[in-house]
Amino acid sequence: MLSEHFAASVSAAAVAPKATSNSVKDVGISIFESQPHSGQRASFKKSNTAPNCLAVSPSHVFAAQADKAVVNVYNRDKGNQEATVPFQERITCLALACEDSVLVLGSQTGRIFVWETHTGRVVITSQAHLQQVTALVVDPTSNFVLSASADASIHVWSLPALLSFSNAALQGQHSPLHTLSGHRAAITSLVVGHSAGFCNIAVSASADQSCIVWDYHENQLLRTVLLPAVPRCLALDPADRAFYTAYDDGSVQIVDFYSDAFSAANPDSVQHPLYDPAQAAMPVQPPPQTRWTPPSADQGAALSVMLSYDGSTLMTGHNNGNVLVWDVPLGRYSSTFTAAPMMGPVTNLVSLPVQGFPDARPALINQVIIVKPKHAAFDKADLDGAVPGNYNLSMQFSRQLPMPHISASKKQSATIESEFLTALTHPVFPESLLADSLAELANWNGSAKVQPAAPAAAAVPTPAAPAEAPVSQPQVSDTADFMSLDAPETPTGPSVEQQNEALRAELAALKRVQRASLIQMEALRKEKVELLAKIRQDIDDDMEDEVNEDEKSERAWGRLASTGEYVESDEESE
């Protein structure tokens, strides 16, 4: 059975709510199950987290403290606080990357920290932002990091470039790839799309009462959305069809990319509304009916928002400690998730991966312990990109490592993805597929000028081709995932008529063999009956002869007993 969980964290409230029987004092982070049975599954104490300051991995929870320059690390398996990691300045946001092995942190002074939790290595960027970093997101491929700041700018960083040892000498001097500029006030929230290709989007919310949809790969503003109030948090639909934002009055608004408001400037266009150049300069203002009101004004501001796995349920964390549930298809408030308010404003809601898929495999690497940051330990690495000698990994393999198949006699058991599956899951068309397709297209164009040879089975000879360069026909393997529609037909075996005629001849031969076998079996049966009758007659004749001889002997002995003379029979005399 599938189960869905999420994490919620709180910050210190000006007036702490009164503890009830359903609430636990000093609980700062809680793990809840939302489906199929709702309820609290774990809790961690002594945490005061601001918005965008919570990150959860399968083994640990990272929480940047709002009042200290530290990050609390909690062990999910043991259920306790594992470490308190100090930093040079207060951390204002964080995000996990590279399969939860790298933690990216934004600081109060506008710098970015990249911390490898397996090794303790820390990479620090330059002070690219003029003010504090307010939000950090990592794209699904872990190739790009987007940092938003209170200075109204968004920087796009290359994460592989930051982690490369070739750039180790640039410690503190790294620069972003490009900057997204379009807001006029502090950025309050930032989300990134779910696509692994080069057409992924990012959505930013600002205190200037607007949201902007970006193509962060091309540094292009796609669309501007004008809102009725300052958006505090964002959530993007799982299929990138819409985004949700929440306001200070506790209300929630949906912005649908496929609504009439996005295509009003060019309603007849068949292009995606976000990528239509004719509509890029036209701001969008969602209609008032797309805004959902809370059940009461006592909920306070909505500080965090989260979508379920299927996108049908929306959750918002409010200033009074409640977590509200919204029905997305109906577009209205549904229920209150928490039986009692949490011990402070709910500043973060983080959706966790769904558990229970039958084909899900455990992660290859399991992080048992967190290696604390080793500042300046790897700054003197060689400029040629060599890994320093003091670079150590601390990890545990949760399953057997994939080994290459090197046996020529034993069949390989591992499943090999076909060319079609490789192309289907690749971000773009693979280079090998493009090269093969271009070569095949060139062969088809060249072979169109040459008459294809007749099948070998045909009896009519064909004239020889002109003396030109030989043209090779495209060869399609038996295991290929495609079929060439334009390739000339090649004889693959006898025709259907020939196969039917051969089957008829074979059937007639079998009938003749069956008829002869039946005749032979009947003759053998008759011969067996005659042989048994002859043997039985011979046995009867022998028994009759023996009976006659016994009778003659008895008569002779009888006369001897009566007259005293023995009369020899004819057979005895002979």
Dihedral angle of Cα 97, 102, 103, 109, to the nearest 10 degrees? -100
SS3 content of the chain, % helix, strand, coil (to 5): 20, 30, 50
Cβ neighbourhood burial of 248 (10 Å; 0-12, 13-18, 19+): middle
Task: Work out the pLDDT band at 55, boundaries 50, 70, 90.
Answer: very high
Bridge partners (DSSP) listed for residue 204: 190, 212
Dihedral angle of Cα 110, 72, 52, 140, to the nearest 10 degrees? 90
Lowest-pLDDT range of 349-353, 419-423, 503-507: 419-423
How many other C-beta atoms lie within 10 A of the C-beta of residue 329?
8
Task: Work out the pLDDT band at 228, boundaries 50, 70, 90.
Answer: very high
pLDDT at residue 458, as a whole number: 41
How far is C-alpha 402 from the chain's CA centre?
18
Whether residue 455 has pLDDT greater than 50: no
pLDDT at residue 294, as a whole number: 94
DSSP 350-403: EEPPPB--TT----SEE--SPPPP-TTSSTT--TT-PPPTT-----EESSPPP-
pLDDT at residue 411, as a whole number: 53
Per-domain residue ranges of the chain? 4-366, 498-573
Q: Which two tokens stand for residue 118?
A: 């397996």
How much is the average pLDDT of 517-546?
88
How much is the average pLDDT of 327-350?
92
Highest mean pLDDT (candidates 333-342, 368-377, 401-410, 433-442): 333-342
CA–CA separation, 54 and 36 (whole Å): 24
pLDDT at residue 461, as a whole number: 45
Whether residue 261 has pLDDT greater than 80: yes
Whether residue 43 has pLDDT greater than 50: yes
pLDDT at residue 311, as a whole number: 94
Dihedral angle of Cα 211, 212, 213, 217, to the nearest 10 degrees? -140
Tokens 């990138």 found at? 240
Average pLDDT score, the chain: 83
pLDDT at residue 457, as a whole number: 41
How far is C-alpha 313 from the chain's CA centre?
22
Task: Work out the pLDDT band at 398, boundaries 50, 70, 90.
Answer: confident
Task: Work out the pLDDT band at 234, boundaries 50, 70, 90.
Answer: very high
pLDDT at residue 406, as a whole number: 58
Whether residue 289 has pLDDT greater than 90: yes
Lowest-pLDDT range of 121-125, 250-254, 425-429, 515-519: 425-429
Contacts of 471 (CB under 8 A, 6+ apart): 443, 446, 447, 449, 450
Q: Using a pLDDT cut of 90, give the percent of the chain over it.
A: 49
Highest mean pLDDT (candidates 20-29, 165-174, 459-468): 165-174
Contacts of 68 (CB under 8 A, 6+ apart): 90
How many other C-beta atoms lie within 10 A of the C-beta of residue 219?
13
3-class DSSP state of 181: strand
pLDDT at residue 396, as a whole number: 82
pLDDT at residue 27, as a whole number: 80
Phi, psi (rounded to 5 degrees) for 41: -110, -25
CA–CA separation, 515 and 468 (whole Å): 60
Task: Work out the pLDDT band at 464, boundaries 50, 70, 90.
Answer: very low
Task: Work out the pLDDT band at 566, boundaries 50, 70, 90.
Answer: low
pLDDT at residue 225, as a whole number: 96
CA–CA separation, 342 and 291 (whole Å): 26
pLDDT at residue 208, as a whole number: 95
Question: Distance of CA 405 to CAs 214, 361, 397, 480, Å?
Answer: 44, 20, 20, 21
pLDDT at residue 24, as a whole number: 54
How much is the average pLDDT of 229-247?
96
CA–CA separation, 78 and 369 (whole Å): 11
Task: Work out the pLDDT band at 556, boundaries 50, 70, 90.
Answer: confident
Which tens digits make up the pLDDT trace of 156-202?
A: 999 999 998 887 666 667 889 999 999 999 999 999 999 988 889 99
CA–CA separation, 151 and 330 (whole Å): 38
Give alpha helix (H) positions in 14-136.
Answer: none
Tell me the torsion sign for CA atoms 162, 163, 165, 171.
positive
Highest mean pLDDT (candidates 304-313, 405-414, 455-464, 541-550): 304-313
Task: Work out the pLDDT band at 465, boundaries 50, 70, 90.
Answer: very low
pLDDT at residue 180, as a whole number: 95
How much is the average pLDDT of 452-470?
45
* Angle at 158 (CA atoms; ends 154, 161), nearest 5 degrees: 145
Taking Cα atoms as reference points, which of 108, 150, 143 lies closest to residue 127? 108
Q: Which two tokens stand for residue 526?
A: 């008759």
* CB 136 within 8 Å of CB 94: yes
How many other C-beta atoms lie within 10 A of the C-beta of residue 371?
18
Whether residue 532 has pLDDT greater than 80: yes
Counting Cα atoms < 13 Å in the Cβ hemisphere of 199 gives 6
CA–CA separation, 183 and 187 (whole Å): 8
Contacts of 165 (CB under 8 A, 6+ apart): 378, 381, 382, 385, 386, 387, 388
CA–CA separation, 155 and 421 (whole Å): 34
How much is the average pLDDT of 241-265?
91
The domain made up of 4-366 is a member of CATH 2.130.10.10: yes
pLDDT at residue 567, as a whole number: 53
How much is the average pLDDT of 488-500?
72
Whether residue 520 has pLDDT greater than 70: yes
The answer to pTM > 0.85 is no
